[in-house]
Amino acid sequence: MDPHSRSNSRARINRFAKLFIALALTLVSVSLAAAQKKDSCVDCHKDMQGPLSDPVTLTRGDIHQLRGLSCSDCHGGDSSQDDPGGAMNPAKGFVAKPKPKDIPQFCGKCHSNAEFMRKFNPVLRVDQEREYSTSVHGKLLVTGDQNVATCISCHGFHGVRAVKDPQSSVFAMNVAETCSKCHANADYMKSYKIPTDQYDNYKTSVHAKALYERQDISAPTCNDCHGNHGAVPPGVASVANVCGQCHVRQSALFQSSPHKTVFDAMQVGECIQCHSNHGILPPSDEMLGTGEKSVCTSCHSQGDNGYQEAGRMRELIDELATRMNSALEVLTKAERAGMDVSRPKFELTGAKDALTQSRVMIHSSSAGEVEKIISPGLEVADKDQKAGEGALAERSFRRKGLGVSLFFILFLAAVIILKIRQIEKRQ
Amino acid sequence: MRAEALKLWLDERLGTDALTKLARKKEVPVHRHTIWYYFGGMTLFLFLVQVATGIMLLLYYRPSAENAFESVQFIITEVQFGWLVRSIHSWSANLLIATMFIHMFSVFFMKAYRSPREITWVSGSLLLFVFLFFGFSGYLLPWNKLAFFATKVGTDIAGVVPFVGNFTMRFLRGGEDVTGATLTRFFGFHVAVLPAATTVILGVHALLVQKHGMSVPPGVNKQTVKTMKFVPNFLMRDLIGWVLAIGALAALAALFPWELGEKADAFASAPAGIRPEWYFLFMFQTLKLIPPKILSFDGEIIGIMAFGLGGLLLVIAPFLDRSAENRRRSLLFTAIGLVVVLYIVAMTVYGYLA
């Protein structure tokens, strides 16, 4: 075979190979398309106008859709049927729009099924439905109240997002606003005869500041105190336990204090008696003692033991705060003068810690216990005060020393100048 | 009689008589630029202050990431007059660089580098680089936050140099990052390598200054210029400067003690407004202003290469300036020198204000 005809036949083989590959790829694509699950719900609703197309558009980004679930997984029916009658056949479990009373069971079909949920998220709880039935919402729903919150009131529908998703209506920073849609609506809440100022109060609270200003999503919002699926107002007996979830030490001290028995007997909420509930403001030393802003004087009056203890605790805290500030002031002054006082400044954190601990210890209502913490703090503050004063004295000594040194240095320079003149005169 | 015998005894063994004669013979020209002659001696004096205070600091300093900061803190708070020694060491280092720059530019403008003093100039410019590295390495030793990040930025810049940059950066740092290994290395450079290099180069420099004497600038008539004896006239005037320098150092140390700052923390974010010591600021500011790309080249690399070239031209300046060779004014080099001085001053001021 001559080289010319050999190259012709090689080109022909190449053309056949290319054609074969193109055909094979087309066949594979067609078979894959055919193998994909048919979803007549999406096929029909996507072309509809108005609210009927919402289920398709809103579910984009929905956690269920992202996990591969389709319309029929919740609504039932047969999405493989093109015929609307067949696709939305009630005999095949189709439910177009569940009634509020049916919603917990509707979502619970999957969310209460541990085996089913394990496939998607093994750590996800499956007791939401049961917990909901213990909530005020759940109990009212059973009585036929159709206005109470159900799953979709908080989580939404068709656009449900994971709790950790910042776009979710139940993401930590969105919870209060979600609850407020009903609970801050005076008309909506009229028949329930409960206040509607909780959201406004909460927004002024130290908790809301931490959540919204510091963006600390561990700061408490509605569900952290009331529960989420089992939402109820904490009763008098459980308030301290609720607050104690985070404020562990304060709660433990309160439980062992004389106040515990008295508060229980008086049937008053433990923590909220002094700190209020939704609008909890940052605590201040003024709340303690016998002054105008004191919360102690709402129960105690001059002459009783509690009044004296409160006054003494306040005195101790004020004394430490004053001495600590004085030490800090003198150390700052020394630092500005260029002295190294970093060590005493660091040690002053010991006094600051004592002050913080004493402010916690007041929940024991015992001036003696507070004093045990304050005393070492006072020692640290006094030591640092002396260190600051010592640094300022050292600075003064250095300046005096400099003055004396400069005198001798200038004197020496003058002597050398005179010596030079003397030498040069001789020369 | 005893003094005479001792003198004779020493002369027989050390040849002190010849040295005394040489010192008596040495003269310094007196003209309107004589004041600039004092800056070389002042730089030498400040270097000796550095050696003395440095040795004292060595008694307490511990060169490790765990102990360096604490040991300096101990020196300035617990050791008797430790604050004074540490502050004088820091202030003197800065004054030394300043007097060195003044000495270099005065020599440059007086064209003192011309024949036969080329090697004196070369050794002097090498000393400048050695002292800049003294400053760079010493800055890290207290292991505070500012020094840590300044060293990071400084060694990053060294890493940009083509071909040898990466090696240089790793060599300086003792690894990929600024760590305790960098501190140990810098300590080694600061107290062993650089002092050894200084001893050799400074020895050559001082020897050549003695050999050639003080240069008379081109504008001054060498034949008619007045002179003064080096010993005692010039030396005593030098002494006045040194005594006043001690006074200035004492005042700076007492009124503006050198700050220690916060301990270095590799995980902390870099402090705002981080910048190097003032003598590196003109280069740092220039690199900040250079656009990222010049034509298709990296702007930072071009900047670094330009400073490298500038340093090389500085060293070989005597061999380039042929006009000065013939005792002419060589206005071109004077103009270049003025532009460089103005640039350094302007960029340094801009660096502080920016």
DSSP secondary structure string for all residues of B310-346: HHHHHHTHHHH-HHHHTT---HHHHHHHHHHHHHHHH
Mean pLDDT of B239-244: 97
More confident residue, B27 or B273: B27
Mutate to test the interface with B, among A339, A394, A395, A398 (most CBs of B within 10 A): A398
Judged by average pLDDT, the poorest of A37-46, A103-112, B107-116, B119-128 is: A37-46
| Sign of the CA dihedral running A255, A260, A263, A266 | positive
Closest approach of B24 to chain A, Cα-based (Å) = 13
If asked whether residues A165 and A255 sit together in one domain, one would say no
Cα–chain center distance at B336: 22
Q: Is A422 on the interface with B (CB under 8 A)?
A: no
In a domain, A140, yes or no: yes
B35 CB burial (10 A radius; 0-12, 13-18, 19+): exposed
Closest to B95 measured CA to CA, from B152, B64, B154, B53: B53
Structure token pair of residue A147: 């206005």
If asked whether residues A218 and A105 sit together in one domain, one would say yes
Instruction: Show residues of chain B in contact with A398, CB under 8 Å.
Output: 254
Instruction: Show residues of chain B in contact with A343, CB under 8 Å.
Output: 73, 77
- pLDDT at A30 > cutoff 50: no
Q: Is A413 on the interface with B (CB under 8 A)?
A: yes
If asked whether residues A101 and A212 sit together in one domain, one would say yes
State residue B83 phi and psi, 5-degree precision: -60, -40
pLDDT band at A61 (very low <50, low <70, confident <90, very high): confident
**Which uninterrupted H or E stretch holds B293?**
strand B293-294
Question: How far apart, in whole angstroms, are the C-alpha atoms of residue B137 and residue B131?
Answer: 10
CB B151 within 8 A of CB B179: no
If asked whether residues A222 and A124 sit together in one domain, one would say yes
If asked whether residues A119 and A207 sit together in one domain, one would say yes
Beta-ladder partners of B298:
B293
Question: How far apart, in whole angstroms, are the C-alpha atoms of residue A48 and residue A42?
Answer: 10
pLDDT band at A21 (very low <50, low <70, confident <90, very high): low
Pairing of strands B226-229, B293-294: unpaired
Structure token pair of residue A411: 């004197």
Structure token pair of residue A56: 């398709």
- pLDDT at A35 > cutoff 50: no
Closest approach of B40 to chain A, Cα-based (Å) = 19
Question: How far apart, in whole angstroms, are the C-alpha atoms of residue B196 and residue B171?
Answer: 19
Residue A26: what pLDDT? 53
Closest approach of A197 to chain B, Cα-based (Å) = 43
**Tens digits of residue pLDDT in B250-259:** 999 999 999 8
- pLDDT at A117 > cutoff 60: yes
Structure token pair of residue B134: 């003294």
Closest to A420 measured CA to CA, from B232, B59, B39: B232
If asked whether residues A243 and A316 sit together in one domain, one would say no
- Asked if the Cβ–Cβ distance from B255 to A409 is below 8 Å, we say no
Quick one: DSSP state of residue A340?
-
User: Alpha helices, DSSP H only, in A235-366?
Assistant: 239-243, 248-255, 258-266, 272-275, 305-336, 342-361
- pLDDT at A236 > cutoff 50: yes
| Residue A276 backbone class (left: φ over 0; alpha: ψ -120 to 50; beta: rest) | left
Instruction: Show residues of chain A in contact with B254, CB under 8 Å.
Output: 398-399, 401-402
- pLDDT at A24 > cutoff 80: no
- Asked if the Cβ–Cβ distance from B240 to A398 is below 8 Å, we say no
Give the percent of chain A with pLDDT over 70.
91
- Asked if the Cβ–Cβ distance from B240 to A417 is below 8 Å, we say yes
The per-type count for chain A, helices as H runs and strands as E runs, is 23, 0
CA distances from A286 to A9, A204, A293, A294, A315 (A): 101, 19, 6, 6, 11
If asked whether residues A134 and A223 sit together in one domain, one would say yes
Task: Examine the fold and report which residue of A217, A232, A247 is the final residue of a domain before the chain moves on.
Answer: A232
Q: Is B73 on the interface with A (CB under 8 A)?
A: yes
If asked whether residues A277 and A212 sit together in one domain, one would say no
Residue B327: what pLDDT? 65
- pLDDT at A11 > cutoff 80: no
Q: Per the omega criterion (within 30 degrees of 0), is the bond before B318 cis?
A: no
Closest to A387 measured CA to CA, from A345, A427, A419: A345
Question: How far apart, in whole angstroms, are the C-alpha atoms of residue A153 and residue A132?
Answer: 13
Q: Is B309 on the interface with A (CB under 8 A)?
A: no
Residue B241: what pLDDT? 96
Quick one: DSSP state of residue B156?
H
A331 CB burial (10 A radius; 0-12, 13-18, 19+): buried
Mutate to test the interface with A, among B243, B255, B259, B263 (most CBs of A within 10 A): B243
Instruction: Show residues of chain A in contact with B82, CB under 8 Å.
Output: none
pLDDT band at B231 (very low <50, low <70, confident <90, very high): confident
**Which uninterrupted H or E stretch holds A394?**
helix A367-426
B190 CB burial (10 A radius; 0-12, 13-18, 19+): buried
Residue A6: what pLDDT? 55
Question: How far apart, in whole angstroms, are the C-alpha atoms of residue B58 and residue B71?
Answer: 10
- How many domains is chain A built from? 3
Domain holding A167, by residue range, is 97-232
If asked whether residues A222 and A255 sit together in one domain, one would say no
| Sign of the CA dihedral running A368, A373, A378, A379 | positive
SS3 A60: coil
Cα–chain center distance at B348: 17
**Which uninterrupted H or E stretch holds B188?**
helix B180-188
Domain ranges of chain B: 1-26, 31-269
CB B120 within 8 A of CB B205: yes
SS3 A200: helix
Of A343, A399, A413, the CB nearest to B254: A399
- Asked if the Cβ–Cβ distance from B243 to A416 is below 8 Å, we say yes
- pLDDT at B344 > cutoff 60: yes
Please name the amino acid found at residue B197: A
- Asked if the Cβ–Cβ distance from A420 to B251 is below 8 Å, we say no
CB B282 within 8 A of CB B140: no
Structure token pair of residue A5: 């005809």
In a domain, A274, yes or no: yes
If asked whether residues A103 and A207 sit together in one domain, one would say yes
Q: Per the omega criterion (within 30 degrees of 0), is the bond before B291 cis?
A: no
A289 CB burial (10 A radius; 0-12, 13-18, 19+): buried
Q: Which residues make Cβ contacts (< 8 Å) with residue A94, sequence separation at least 6?
A: A75, A76, A77, A87, A88
Q: Give the residue on B whose Cα is nearest the Cα of A344.
A: B77
The per-type count for chain B, helices as H runs and strands as E runs, is 16, 4
Structure token pair of residue A213: 């200003």
A391 CB burial (10 A radius; 0-12, 13-18, 19+): buried
Tokens 């190097």, located at residue: B276
Task: Examine the fold and report which residue of A215, A232, A249 is the final residue of a domain before the chain moves on.
Answer: A232
| Residue B177 backbone class (left: φ over 0; alpha: ψ -120 to 50; beta: rest) | beta
Closest approach of B77 to chain A, Cα-based (Å) = 7
DSSP output for B219-259? TS-TTT-EEEEIIIIIHHHHHHHHHHHHHHHHHHHHHSPPP
Closest to A381 measured CA to CA, from A320, A331, A423, A339: A320
Beta-ladder partners of B28:
B228
In a domain, A408, yes or no: no
Tokens 């109470």, located at residue: A148
Which of 301-340 (A) contact B at CB < 8 A? 338-340
Residue A9: what pLDDT? 57
Q: Give the residue on B whose Cα is nearest the Cα of A398.
A: B254
Quick one: DSSP state of residue B28?
E
- Residue B326: HSE in the Cβ half-sphere, 13 Å Cα cutoff: 5
Judged by average pLDDT, the poorest of A310-319, A397-406, B219-228, B341-350 is: B219-228
If asked whether residues A105 and A224 sit together in one domain, one would say yes
Length of chain B: 354
**Tens digits of residue pLDDT in B179-226:** 999 999 999 999 999 999 999 999 999 999 999 999 999 888 888 999
Please name the amino acid found at residue B111: K
In a domain, A334, yes or no: yes
| Sign of the CA dihedral running A82, A86, A89, A91 | negative
- pLDDT at A129 > cutoff 50: yes
- Asked if the Cβ–Cβ distance from A340 to B73 is below 8 Å, we say yes
Task: Examine the fold and report which residue of A169, A201, A232 is the final residue of a domain before the chain moves on.
Answer: A232
Of A340, A398, A420, the CB nearest to B237: A420
- Asked if the Cβ–Cβ distance from A343 to B77 is below 8 Å, we say yes
Tokens 């102990």, located at residue: B67
- Asked if the Cβ–Cβ distance from B236 to A419 is below 8 Å, we say yes
Instruction: Show residues of chain B in contact with A416, CB under 8 Å.
Output: 236, 239-240, 243
**Mean pLDDT score of chain B:** 93
Tokens 């005593």, located at residue: B236
Of A338, A406, A420, the CB nearest to B233: A420
If asked whether residues A105 and A204 sit together in one domain, one would say yes
Residue B166: what pLDDT? 94
Beta-ladder partners of B294:
B297
Length of chain A: 427
Residue B19: what pLDDT? 87
DSSP output for A109-156? HHHT-HHHHHTT-TTS---HHHHHHHSHHHHHHHTT-SSS--HHHHH-
CA angle B77, B181, B67 (to 5 degrees): 20
Q: Is B248 on the interface with A (CB under 8 A)?
A: no
Homologous superfamily (CATH) of B31-269 is Cytochrome Bc1 Complex; Chain C (1.20.810.10)
Instruction: Show residues of chain B in contact with A406, CB under 8 Å.
Output: 247, 250-251
Which of 176-205 (A) contact B at CB < 8 A? none
Instruction: Show residues of chain A in contact with B259, CB under 8 Å.
Output: 338
Mean pLDDT of A162-173: 94
Mutate to test the interface with A, among B30, B229, B252, B255 (most CBs of A within 10 A): B255
- pLDDT at B295 > cutoff 60: yes
SS3 A2: coil
